[in-house]
Chains A and B, each alone.
Chain A
């Protein structure tokens, strides 16, 4: 037992010393996507310390339950997740392994955005033969500013609940954000008016809320089924089908592989427009306002 035990005890002590964090007043938040991190920053200002689990260049379906994420879950006061099973492949491991009761589902420290808004594409029946389908509906809710407004209100209320010492601060920032957001939304809708009715091709179904908001028509998806990459045969078929109703553009997210979209673009003579999809996806999408500004700018620029 002897020296092995002593070595382990020494290791444990070392870990404790290294692990002891300086006492921090700021609320520690673990956000699953850069969008939720940006929203928490808008509402929490300098009273929150936000960590983003993923970047705009990651497919949020395919994230590893990395050791660094377990460590952040361990010390988090609040987890802000999309929900609707988007993070089902990794979030449950973080929650269980964290040993942190504050962030367990059902606790005030666990916030899910998707259940707050009206979800599109809720399937009446699900089967894995349909691809990587979400039984609760399409979880990619961020690209409709009306959804963000609803989620922001609930999130501000949650910050007030968790950190009541700064209640007035969060409430004031929440109101201010809401005012600015409503104004900006009016602006975006005015600028996006010409996009109404424009036919587009998407890669994955993660532009459904954007298309629904702006009235753009999703004519086809490059993925034959959600999460299933296209075969050469399917792409050829797509070219034929789209000849009848040619789309104006092909939407591609920062994290998507460009090859299939570019191949299709050459055949059907519709440009590929790169969209940030998430905060950080393009240099211009620095925050949530930038995300929508840039998305609409890029769509308008392609339409001309």
Chain B
């Protein structure tokens, strides 16, 4: 009975409704049909009327244009804004599209030395290599960013760098919390680490066409973590920010390892404020602990034969950074000055394997190395800026077990021979608007072991589409 109840109910409802439907059929349907026909004819005539009016107006416009051939209206002395558009009230499937931006960059490079052999002397090179890529005209990365609030709780951002060589790198792809309170923000995914000052800044917003030497050598250009970050801003009148990160270590100086443990941990603290209404500053200190397994690099042995060596161990980096910006009353339109410097110190300890595919020897490895840069950029007139940068690095002499035990001569590790690379760079750039920048840069580069390199770069940077706000 219980099972039958719904069916019975349906039948009862049907029976109740049916008689009415039957009754309505003959006369009401006819009436509705007549009404519908009337509506149809009404609309057809209205549409026809509108079509005729459109045609009339079109021909009127055409005649007006023909009447004044070539007589373009005199442009007004002042560009008048277009007329007010009525706000769109209809539903719009694209209303929630994320903000999309595309950055175009490219350069012309005139380099006195072969860029393929570029190596900063005295240091284990990062896998991505160092230096400026290729000579002549180069398409640099085209940076595509898609960003949007996901919901009231999260913000999402993806930045893909489409490389001139037709590959795509995911530079950043992260979510960020919006709804944590008390100064906390959590970021997860792939993101540029908050260590240092320059590390978080995207290449199109650098003040020079390339990274400081110390960033290239110690962080492989930029440290992008696959992991999570927590930041906390203190409730103070000064800017006090603390942050911590845990990552997989996929980015140099770590390596992606087949291990569930974390391999790239970072801590950072920032302090900032204003000095009067024209000057603002930020100081920071960061610490990065990265582990790597078989971080391979190419070198030659004492006879000049190519070998592949690899480092396995821990890399600890300290960074101190300082940035000062000045503009009269804080308005950078006509004049501005920016002074920025960072000091990085790195110790690596672990084991160094020699000639992985041949002799395959391994021994202890310990290094204590440092580098710094200081740069100043001055906006000397509207749209124009000039900059000067000095880079310096100290490789020290790493202790290599294989050499100390007498198994290999120190000449078997030419890349690690003690060196003090340095470089001086000048640049001038011209920004016609906030969205375009043309730059010329010249560097006296003495980072190679012996040769002096002179590098001239002409660069363009164009930003299209939605362009997000920039950090300090």
Which residues in A have some Cβ–Cβ distance to B below 8 Å?
1, 4-5, 8, 11-12, 15-16, 18-21, 54-55, 57-59, 62-68, 70-72, 74-75, 88-93, 96-102, 104, 106, 120-125, 128, 130-132, 138, 218-221, 224-225, 227-229, 238, 241-242, 245, 255, 257
> Which B residues are CB-close (under 8 A) to A88?
469
> Which B residues are CB-close (under 8 A) to A218?
78
| 6 closest A-B pairs by CB | A67-B272, A19-B234, A67-B239, A57-B329, A19-B236, A124-B85
State which of B77, B84, B328, B331 has its C-beta within 8 Å of the C-beta of A62: B331
> Which A residues are CB-close (under 8 A) to B433?
128, 131-132, 227-228
> Which B residues are CB-close (under 8 A) to A1?
289
CB distance B239 to A68 under 8 Å? yes
Shortest B212–chain A CB gap in Å is 22
Shortest B251–chain A CB gap in Å is 20
Known: A18-B240, A67-B272, A229-B382. A93 touches B469 (CB 8 A): yes
Best-buried of A67, A98, A128 by chain B (most CB within 10 Å) = A67
Assembly CA distance A128 to B176 (angstroms) = 29
Shortest B208–chain A CB gap in Å is 19
Known: A19-B240, A55-B330, A66-B274. A132 touches B434 (CB 8 A): yes
CB distance A58 to B330 under 8 Å? yes
Shortest A191–chain B CB gap in Å is 27
CB distance A257 to B382 under 8 Å? yes
> Which B residues are CB-close (under 8 A) to A99?
180-185, 231-233
State which of A59, A66, A224 has its C-beta within 8 Å of the C-beta of B333: A59
Known: A72-B237, A99-B232, A128-B435. A255 touches B331 (CB 8 A): yes
Asked if B137 CB lies within 8 Å of chain A CBs, one says: no
Best-buried of A59, A65, A66 by chain B (most CB within 10 Å) = A66
State which of A74, A96, A242 has its C-beta within 8 Å of the C-beta of B155: A96
CB distance A64 to B472 under 8 Å? yes
Asked if B114 CB lies within 8 Å of chain A CBs, one says: no
> Which A residues are CB-close (under 8 A) to B397?
none
Known: A4-B287, A62-B331, A89-B470. A15 touches B242 (CB 8 A): yes
Which residues in B have some Cβ–Cβ distance to A below 8 Å?
77-79, 81-85, 152, 155, 176, 178-185, 231-242, 267, 269-274, 277, 280-282, 285, 287, 289, 316, 318, 325, 328-334, 382-383, 433-435, 464, 468-472
CB distance B84 to A122 under 8 Å? yes
CB distance B273 to A67 under 8 Å? yes
CB distance B330 to A54 under 8 Å? yes
Shortest A45–chain B CB gap in Å is 22
Which residue of B is nearest A221, CB measured?
B78
Known: A19-B240, A70-B233. A97 touches B185 (CB 8 A): yes
22 A–B pairs (Cβ distance < 8 Å), ordered by A: A8-B287, A19-B238, A21-B236, A55-B330, A58-B329, A59-B331, A62-B332, A64-B332, A65-B469, A66-B330, A67-B273, A70-B239, A70-B472, A74-B183, A96-B155, A98-B183, A98-B233, A101-B180, A123-B81, A128-B433, A227-B433, A245-B77
State which of B179, B269, B270 has its C-beta within 8 Å of the C-beta of A101: B179
Shortest B77–chain A CB gap in Å is 4
> Which A residues are CB-close (under 8 A) to B435?
128
> Which A residues are CB-close (under 8 A) to B182?
99
CB distance B469 to A92 under 8 Å? yes
Shortest B122–chain A CB gap in Å is 25
Known: A19-B236, A67-B273. A96 touches B331 (CB 8 A): no
CB distance B273 to A71 under 8 Å? yes
CB distance A238 to B269 under 8 Å? no
Known: A55-B329, A257-B382. A97 touches B233 (CB 8 A): yes
Known: A57-B331, A65-B469, A121-B81. A101 touches B280 (CB 8 A): no
